[in-house]
């Protein structure tokens, strides 16, 4: 005869549940929706995100199994006209790998990673650095000027002028995170990386500015 387990062995007691809820409040987590075995390659970066307090308070991470195509305008805005024309010449379709926007239901920053980005940590890193760039824009003018000077230097050297500064910066920072050396100087890379340190503290007032002005490049 199989014994029926005691009810308190199946469900936690109120004291245990209370302790769990208090712990969640004390150590909030970035909500991750749709994570699966397919996204395992991104686990180290997700775990890193969970150690950054300001991210846990302001960001939702969503995995979407779709691979939506991107319009010409959006593709050029994200990567520049030269990149888009090269994709077309190769007979490929431009797809969305990741995006960051304000979630209408929660007011939080929602990072969406699509199927094409499930195995590429650079996609998630790039979306994170879009947030970092906006933090810099609204609170660190000296760092912003350094990025501006770097960008102007790239244009002088022949970079695509339709590849806008925020997107070029974030793309290069994602490469840096993957171990690829870029033209970004260390005095730009280090402060940007430090934003995602577990010791980093971004004031709520700065994050409110970031969210309120999200759609402004």
The pLDDT value given to residue 27: 62
- In the chain, domain spans: 28-212
What pLDDT shows up at residue 12?
A: 55
Rounded to two decimals, the pTM is 0.85
DSSP 3-state percent helix, strand, coil across the chain (nearest 5):
55, 10, 35
Q: E strands of the chain, at which residues?
A: 32-33, 59-64, 98-102, 109-114
Residue with token string 């939506």: 68
88 near 72, Cβ under 8 Å?
no
* CA-derived radius of gyration, the chain: 20
**Strand-by-strand arrangement of the 109-114 sheet:** 32-33, 59-64, 109-114, 98-102
Cα angle value 97/125/209 (rounded, 5°): 100
pLDDT of res. 172:
97
Q: DSSP characters for 81-136?
A: HHHHHHHHHTT---B--EEEEE-TTT-SEEEEEEGGGTT-HHHHHHHHHHHHHHHH
- Angstrom distance (rounded) from CA 27 to CA 151: 38
Strand partners, 95: 69
Both tokens assigned to 80: 């520049």
Backbone angles phi, psi at 216, to 5 degrees: -90, 125
Per-residue pLDDT of the chain (217 residues; tens, 9 = 90+): 444 444 444 455 666 555 544 554 456 799 999 999 999 999 999 999 999 999 999 999 999 999 888 889 989 988 999 999 999 999 988 899 999 999 999 999 999 999 999 999 999 999 999 999 999 999 999 999 999 999 999 999 999 999 999 999 999 999 999 999 999 999 999 999 999 999 999 999 999 999 999 988 7
């Amino acid at each position: 005869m199989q014994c029926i387990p005691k009810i308190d062995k199946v469900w936690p007691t109120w004291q245990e549940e209370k302790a769990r809820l208090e712990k969640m409040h004390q150590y909030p987590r970035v909500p991750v929706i749709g994570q699966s075995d397919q996204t395992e390659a991104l686990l180290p970066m997700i775990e890193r995100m969970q150690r950054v307090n300001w991210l846990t308070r302001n960001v939702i991470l969503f995995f979407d199994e779709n691979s939506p195509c991107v319009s010409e305008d959006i593709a050029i805005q994200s990567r520049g006209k030269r990149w888009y024309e090269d994709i077309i010449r190769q007979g490929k379709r431009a797809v969305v790998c990741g995006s960051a926007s304000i979630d209408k239901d929660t007011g939080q920053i929602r990072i969406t990673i699509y199927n094409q980005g499930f195995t590429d940590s650079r996609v998630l890193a790039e979306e994170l650095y879009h947030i970092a760039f906006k933090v810099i824009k609204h609170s660190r003018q000296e760092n912003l000027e350094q990025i501006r000077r770097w960008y102007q230097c790239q244009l002088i050297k022949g970079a695509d002028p339709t590849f806008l500064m925020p997107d070029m910066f974030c793309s290069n920072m994602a490469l840096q995170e993957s171990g690829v050396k870029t033209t970004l100087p260390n005095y730009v890379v280090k402060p940007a990386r430090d934003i995602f340190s577990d010791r980093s503290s971004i004031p709520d007032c700065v994050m409110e500015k970031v969210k309120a002005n999200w759609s402004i490049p």
